[in-house]
Structure 1
């Protein structure tokens, strides 16, 4: 069974995200475990843990996942920000463990004013330090492919494969594949040939078998634009046929899928998350 859900708000309590996902007939859920635009993190109480766990049990929502703060940059050439990012990522991973999540998704990082090679090396070293501090556990660190905007790394399979070769399953490091980012990075998700190229390169670079989750987002911008702008399913440049191929792929369809599209309601007053889930299910 294809499992579909979305990133949901934790306003009012972590369990609220789970209950909201259930109300929209989702199978899985992704959350922030803290304010994603702040470094500080309020401790997770035992009561928070209990309510979250109970909500998952009661609703049957599976594969809870977290997304790390956008402030984190393990590729930074600036020592202060790099060390701060390492400490913040340790906290993100530990919070995922505390809530019993499957993992935490992280954008690999940006090299800013250094070089792609130097940035990748910083990310690899940063992951090593983070893992050493987190230690053994259940939750995985999932590197998300990027659109390649600016100096963001991890936009092609070669870069992701290089990072995985330095860490990989031994350190519970895998991949979360974002359809919008892949499309914007130059893998034409609207065409069968584009998905085939993505799979071929991912297999060659050792990435394919490391994919543990998908972000299913259409793209406002065209293939190769290198611009990260999510669109509702079927309304962007990937289109319904592109998502139909993903949903019917024998490997990708086994991964939990999470929407990260704009919140709100459509002209008919329907919740966009519910609409997107329904559209995806109609393609299965």
Structure 2
């Protein structure tokens, strides 16, 4: 077992190495970085995280294609499109995410932005306002996202929930992007109601592998409890910002092939 102080020092060094603007260009976070308007950043980031499945280069290309289909103004497109504008989206597909899913996402986001100024409010439930807790926030978000009548049943698979024991990698990554604000230029920190201390580490295959190698995960499977276990172990190194170590674990796994 690696000494705890040595491991913290090693991971802190790797965070420093990867948490800087040079990280952006090869990562799906480059999609929301193309925008400056808050709502555009949220929408571009949301789609980029949901489509973050497969090779990073392919993900980035497909996200750019989707942004172009929305005239590179996703908020304006979602808020004010005509039905005829949606026809161009019928050809969009990435893995199992198809036109049916795209059209429902746009319809739900349109409803949301007609009532709220920010997508952050979709993660805030009345019961979670005073003491933010991520598990209940993600369960609330999924229920909220599919509250329109006649939503397509197939689309539910694209929004994970801890209620199904999912590690919710994509949503946790999106929330990291929106809520972390360390002035390093990668994460945006434009959401103020979700404390960084409440974020859960996105547990993808690379992070999972490195975390197990370093003794930060002991559970055999990868599920919501695994993501919580990893985050709780990272909180020992930084209780206020445990998810900054996502940069270290992901960088070690993907970039350094540790």
TM bucket (normalised to shorter chain) is: 0.3 to 0.5
Greater relative CO (CA pairs within 8 A, separation 6+): 2
